[in-house]
Amino acid sequence: MQKRQLGKSSLEVSAIGLGCMGMSFSYAPFPDRQESIALIRAAVERGVTFFDTAEVYGPYENEELVGEALEPFRGQVVIATKFGFKPASSGEPRWSELDSRPEHIRQVAEASLKRLRVEAIDLFYQHRVDPQVPIEDVAGTVKDLIGEGKVRHFGLSEASVQTIRRAHAVQPVAAVQSEYSLWTRNPEKDVLPALEELGIGFVPFSPLGKGFLTGKINENTAFDKSDFRNAIPRFTPEARKANQALVDLLGRVAGQKNATPAQIALAWLLAQKPWIVPIPGTRKLERLEENIASAMVTLTAEDLREIDSAAAQIEVQGARYPENLENLTGR
């Protein structure tokens, strides 16, 4: 597996990471825990060194799963996790209510260290920007945790350029994580140029469009009733039918390259910048191996021009989040 450095940080990771959220959150039904542990360990055996989780996935269950799976490989892998959601009365964090107060960040860090079974969190993201807490206070708290040896690197998720710059001035940001793929290109306008200027790595989540860009989903696909995609406007049957044109484009290029649509989608991301590291999620070994192999797919400058030219003619239909979550991005 090729390695990549996340910006100017000392974080060197595999060119393709593994997003672990779907093993216990959002995409029900979930696999058996031991199956997921086996898959994570299979990823390590195949050269993956970058794993993504968060306290809110589950909640807590995903961190515990990743911690158990990667305990034999401590020091050989990089684990990213996240803070920033407010606990409910049950004590479990929940989406849409934010809490990045310094004391809460510290509480999350201590709990995540235990669940992940590590002495330090490799990469600690603010999951969503909290407008009630100055980003300087957030960055300062993580800076203190780094000084104490509990965290190694600071990250932000779905943050605006202004927020990134303010945070970076207090504590260097190693990586920014946002949704980015051929059907979600928002970061290209201002985030990617700012990251290049500042020397910050970029970690695209949902690089396969929550599964849509693999070509395995069409307008007739039925999701489990608890699957998060049921609530996403971009996944209505009408939107899926309209967005099929993008999958068809990937399929045409894949045919030319003896690859799959998913591999072209990932290879396209890798070709954008050398400091971009996508983290596709999967729960199946064959998909893991397919995703890893995308790092070996070469897209020429002419290939990229053709893809961009064709994609520019396709207007993606539907918002990428329900309204109550859409307003948590880009702050």
Which residues are annotated as catalytic? 57
Which pair of structure tokens corresponds to residue 297? 């797919």
From CA 113, how far away is CA 100, in angstroms rounded?
18
Give all strands (DSSP E) within the chain, no chain letters.
Answer: 3-5, 12-14, 18-19, 50-52, 78-83, 85-87, 93-98, 121-126, 151-157, 173-179, 201-205
| Residue 121: alpha-carbon gap to chain centroid | 17
| SS3 label, residue 26 | coil
DSSP 48: -
Give the C-alpha separation, 30 to 55, whole Å.
Answer: 17
List the beta bridge partners of residue 52.
Answer: 19, 80
Per-residue DSSP letters for 209-271? TTTGGGT---TT----TT-GGGG-GGGSHHHHHHHHHHHHHHHHHHHHHT--HHHHHHHHHHH
Cβ(65)–Cβ(37) below 8 Å: yes
Which one, of 287, 244, 296, lies nearest residue 27 by Cα? 287
- 3 state SS for 54-68: CCCCCCCHHHHHHHH
